[in-house]
């Protein structure tokens, strides 16, 4: 009798595990790195829409005004927020220079004091879904 119960239990567990599929809300990328925001005020943002790009132009300058050694970063634009530089993008993720993709994202954003004049802030992503 115990063998039958164990057999049926194993079959149910197997069927349940096979029926699990990726939920539509699962992140397209896994974020294992964290950013050092110590000493900074941070705010959690959840399921915001924006565009992700790979660029060396965070301040939206004309190309002629860019410094020759400007570093490339992953940048999220989401109105009305400041541009957000992703500080924990997985190293194996690639985008072409200038490419832009619509995304839904969640994470922790650095909140700057009102008196600070900035063109961008840092974001530590915990969720990113390509649309």
Domain for residue 9, yes or no? no
Domain for residue 44, yes or no? yes
Q: Is the pLDDT of residue 126 over 60?
A: yes
SS3 label, residue 54: strand
pTM score, two decimals? 0.77
Residue 88's pLDDT band, with cuts at 50, 70 and 90, is very high
**Mean pLDDT value of segment 49-72:** 89
Domain for residue 64, yes or no? yes
Domain for residue 13, yes or no? no
Number of C-beta neighbours around residue 122 at 10 A: 19
State how many domains the chain has.
Answer: 1
Average pLDDT of the chain to the nearest whole number: 86
Domain for residue 15, yes or no? no
Domain for residue 19, yes or no? no
Domain for residue 83, yes or no? yes
* pLDDT at position 70: 85
Q: How far, in whole angstroms, is CA 17 from its chain's centroid?
A: 28
Structural domain of residue 113, as residue ranges?
27-130
Question: Cβ neighbours of residue 30 under 8 Å, at least 6 residues apart?
Answer: 90
Helix (H) or strand (E) holding 8: helix 2-19
Number of C-beta neighbours around residue 90 at 10 A: 14
Domain for residue 10, yes or no? no
């Amino acid at each position: 009798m115990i063998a039958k119960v164990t057999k049926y239990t194993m079959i149910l567990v197997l069927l349940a595990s096979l029926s699990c599929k990726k939920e539509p809300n699962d992140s397209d990328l896994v974020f294992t790195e964290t950013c050092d925001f110590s000493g900074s005020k941070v705010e959690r943002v959840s399921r915001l829409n924006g565009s992700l790009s790979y660029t060396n132009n965070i301040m939206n300058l004309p190309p002629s005004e860019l410094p020759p050694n400007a570093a490339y970063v992953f940048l999220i634009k989401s109105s009305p927020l400041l541009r957000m530089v992703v500080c924990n993008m997985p190293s194996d993720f690639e985008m072409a220079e200038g490419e832009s993709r619509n995304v839904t994202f969640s994470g922790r954003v650095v909140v700057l004091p009102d008196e600070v004049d900035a063109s961008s802030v840092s974001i530590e992503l915990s969720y990113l879904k390509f649309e």
